[in-house]
Amino acid sequence: MEPLKETVEPSAQPELQVTKKDLRKVFWRSFTLQGSFNYERMQALGYAYSMIPVLKKLYPNPEERAKALKRHLEFFNSTPQMSTFIMGLSAAMEEKAAKDKEFDADSINSVKVALMGPVAGIGDSFFWGTFRIIAAGVGVSLASTGNILGAILFLLIFNVPHLLVRYQGTFMGYSKGTTFLNMMYQGGSINRLTYAAGILGLLVIGAMTGTLIELSTPIEFQLEGASVALQDTLDDILPQALPLGLTFGIYYMLKKNVKVNYIMLGIIALGILGTWVGIL
């Protein structure tokens, strides 16, 4: 891939040269990726909209531009925070197609389809499985005490890495392309990073279960004239056993495709009835 240039010489056909300014426009438009999400082509409309600045630059001919735009209306679905890497790569390939009439334009969409899965696997592990959970854990812990830093830190912890990856991914995809991904996969770095992110996410979930879910029982038994609290016995065996059991119960119902609304109503009913009967 050719290095990025802010400006190019007149002899280099500037209308066929993608610049940093064009890629920045792609970056800003990428925030609309899921604005027209649909179940037929997922994020295709948002992807095509994001590519318009590059396509306008590369294809002055309206017919060629329409053909290129139609290419990017094909099915696309990946992690939004990392989608700009693929957009940058598409921009580099479109630039190649505009300059070289022998270039196979169909390969542009083929590369997009090939990268959707791997990029989504990385992005989902880090952004949905790690950063979101850590941000929520820190934010909820502070917000539950009335500290406004809870909301602020939640947004910062999730969005600072998100914005950095989204912005840099646009330029990395254009300049590095498939070379970067191949290098990461061949060296095994991707697998190690994904595995580490999964462990960290599970640790945070475990900590949130024990600290943020409040569930206890006031039940007491009379044994040999002494009063024994069931909650103290459970804590001696396994601290936070009831919150853990509730979490596993909800997880089991989700695996059985029980609707979330029904689960929420069930939790409310359990809390009311349990308190009324005196077991919670």
Each residue of 202-235: pLDDT tens digit? 676 677 676 777 788 888 777 766 777 787 778 7
> Could you list the residue range(s) of the whole structural domain that residue 114 is in?
10-207
Question: 73 and 28 in one domain?
Answer: yes
Confidence of residue 55 (pLDDT cuts 50, 70, 90): very high
C-alpha radius of gyration, the chain, whole number: 26
Give CA–CA dist 49/165, Å, rounded. 20
Q: Give me the pLDDT at residue 13, please.
A: 45
Confidence of residue 125 (pLDDT cuts 50, 70, 90): confident
Question: 229 and 203 in one domain?
Answer: no
Is residue 266 domain-resident? yes
245 pLDDT above the threshold of 60: yes
Is residue 262 domain-resident? yes
Question: 164 and 103 in one domain?
Answer: yes
Is residue 47 domain-resident? yes
Question: 176 and 140 in one domain?
Answer: yes
Each residue of 156-178: pLDDT tens digit? 988 998 999 999 999 988 887 65
30 pLDDT above the threshold of 90: yes
Q: Contact 83/115 with Cβ under 8 angstroms?
A: no
Q: Give me the pLDDT at residue 195, please.
A: 66
Is residue 3 domain-resident? no
Question: 224 and 179 in one domain?
Answer: no
Question: 239 and 105 in one domain?
Answer: no
pTM for the model: 0.62
Give CA–CA dist 273/275, Å, rounded. 5
Question: 162 and 46 in one domain?
Answer: yes
Number of domain units in the chain:
2
Question: 195 and 253 in one domain?
Answer: no
207, 229, 253 - which closes a domain: 207
